Structure 1
Amino acid sequence: MTILLSDPRVAALEVRDSASPLVALPHHLSPDHCLVRAEVAARLVEAAAALPDGVRLKVVEGHREPVLQQEIIARYSAEVCGAHPGVGPAELDRLVSRFVAPLAVAPHVSGSAVDLTLSTDHGVELPMGTAIDATPEVSGGRCYTESVEISAEARANRNLLARVLGDVGMVNYPTEWWHWSWGDRYWALMTGAPAAVHGPIAAVPSTPSAA
C-alpha cells in the first residue's frame, strides 16, 4: 500500500538537522542552478556519473520556500475539490498529498527533494510517460511511478532513473515519478532511519557544488 506524505507516521518522526547548507547545483545537473542540501547535491553528482553516455540528469526544482509550498497546496486543493465534489477534509488532505506535501513535512521546504528527469547531452528530455508535475487527475494516474499505462520506452527510462538514484540512497515518492529525496522525514520512514536529518531551511545558499 502506498504511504503518502499525509500519513501520521511521517509527521511523527523526529528531525535531527545535520546543519548541511543549501548549495546551488552545477549547470550540467540543473541549468537553473536549483538549491538543495549539500548531501543531496553530492548524491546527485554520483548518480549522474552512473548514467550511460549521452544521458544526463536534469533537475528542474529543488528547495522551495514555504509560501510557494502553501500556494501549490491551495491551488491543487481547489482542483481536487472540483474533481471530487463533496469531499471531506480528511479525504481532501489525503488526495492533495498525492501531489503536494503538507507544509509541516514538505521535503522541498527542507532542501531534501528534487524534481528531475532524464535528458540528452543537448538538454532534450527523454520520454517518461508524463510531464513533470502532471497531476493524478490530468495524467489519469500515469504520474504514479509504477503506472502500467506508459510506453516501454518510458518504463525503461523510469527504471534507469530509479536505479541510479536508488543506488545513492535516494527515495522516490511513488505518486510522482520525478520526485526523489534524501534526508527528510519521508526518506527516514521509508529507509528505517531513526530520524530525519533535514528540517525546514531558509534559502541562503553557499557556493555551487562541484561540476
Structure 2
Amino acid sequence: MTNPKTPLAEAPIPDHPLPDWSALRDIPIVERNDPLLPTSLSPGLATYPAYYKMGVPHAVDECFVRREVFDRLMLASQRLPAGMRLVVLDGWRPFIVQQYLFDTLINLLQHARPDLDADARYAFTRTLVSPPSTDPEAPSPHLTGGSVDVTLSDADGRLLDMGTLFDEASPLSWSAALEDPVHDDRYGEARVHRRILYNAMTGAGFTNLPSEWWHYDFGNQLWALHRGEPRAIYGATRPPGVERLWQHQLGLKGHS
C-alpha cells in the first residue's frame, strides 16, 4: 500500500516515557456509570477480538467499551483517510484474562531471560501487560472499559503493516520507536501507519501508552495521568448479566 497523503501522516509521534504507575492510585475515580457497548454492532468500526481468536482462556468474543469511548472511536474512524478502517482488537478485559496474560509473560521471561532478576522481569512485563488488579482505587486499565487496543486495515480488511504485531514483545512496539530515521528503509510505511493511527486517536481525545502503539485510553486513571486531569471517570466495571439486570429491576441492589 502506498503512503496516503494526509496531514495525519505528517506529525511525528512524541517519544514519551512510561507513566509513573505509582501515581495512578492518587487519582480519584468519580464514576460516571457509562454503560459498556459492543463495538461489533457498529458499521463504522471493524471488530476482531484478538485474545478470543488466539484462544486465551476466558477471553470474550466481543470488544466492549464505555459509551463515550465508543463515540470517540467513531470520531477517530471518521478522521482516517479514505480506504482505511479502524480495527478494535480488545476493550474491556476480564480480570482472569489480565491475570493470565501477566503471569504468562512473567513465566516466559524466566526462561527466555534468566539474566533478569525479579524486579527487571516485572518492569519488562509491565511495558506490555498491566498487573492484574481489582482494587477499586487502582483497577487494571482494561478492567474499566476505558482502555482499547486498535490497529488499521485497508477497506477490504487486510491488516496494515504497523512495524510489529499486536502485543509483540519487542522494543519496536514502543509507539515512537519507528520515528528514528535509521528505520526509513525497512519501516517507512509502518511509521506512516502508526502516525495516522496515533494522530487520529489522540485527535479524538485518547491518550496512548508509550510502550504499546496499539493501546489507547479515555476516562480511566491512565488517561487522567497523561492529561493531567484531576480525576478519572471510569473505574472497574463489567458487562451486565441477566442476574444483575433482574436484581436491579427487583430492587435487590445490595445482593450479589
Q: TM-score range by the shorter chain?
A: 0.7 to 0.9
Q: Distance in 2 between the 1:11 and 1:80 partners?
A: 27
TM-score of the pair, normalised by structure 2: 0.73
Q: Distance in 2 between the 1:93 and 1:177 partners?
A: 20
TM-score of the pair, normalised by structure 1: 0.88
**Matched residues, number:** 200
Residues 131-150 of structure 1 mapped to structure 2, 5 A cutoff: 131-136=165-170, 141-148=171-178, 149=183
| Partner SS state of residue 117, structure 1 | strand
**Partner of 1:209 in structure 2?**
none
Within the candidate set 22, 39, 46, 2:75 is matched to 46
**Partner of 1:117 in structure 2?**
151
| Contact 1:24 1:34 (C-alpha < 8 Å) held by counterparts | yes
Q: Distance in 2 between the 1:102 and 1:11 partners?
A: 13
Q: Distance in 2 between the 1:30 and 1:53 partners?
A: 15
Q: How big is each residue's C-alpha offset from its partner over 1:154-203, in whole Å with a ceiling of 9 and x where there is no partner?
A: 00010000111111110111111011110111111000011111111112
Extract unaligned runs of 5+ from structure 1: 206-211
Residues 30-179 of structure 1 mapped to structure 2, 5 A cutoff: 30-32=46-48, 33-85=62-114, 87-104=116-133, 105-136=139-170, 141-148=171-178, 149=183, 151-179=187-215
Identity %: 29
Q: Distance in 2 between the 1:173 and 1:68 partners?
A: 19
Q: How big is each residue's C-alpha offset from its partner over 1:91-118, in whole Å with a ceiling of 9 and x where there is no partner?
A: 3332211000122342211111111111
Please state which structure has a larger fraction of its residues in helix. 2
**Partner of 2:18 in structure 1?**
3
Higher relative contact order (CA 8 A, sep 6+): 1
**Partner of 2:29 in structure 1?**
15
| Partner SS state of residue 142, structure 1 | helix
| Contact 2:65 2:91 (C-alpha < 8 Å) held by counterparts | yes
Q: Distance in 1 between the 2:63 and 2:100 partners?
A: 19
Within the candidate set 214, 221, 228, 1:185 is matched to 221
Greater CA drift, 35-44 or 84-93: 84-93
Extract unaligned runs of 5+ from structure 2: 1-15, 49-61, 134-138, 242-256
Letter of the structure 2 residue corresponding to residue 24 of structure 1:
P
| Contact 1:21 1:38 (C-alpha < 8 Å) held by counterparts | yes
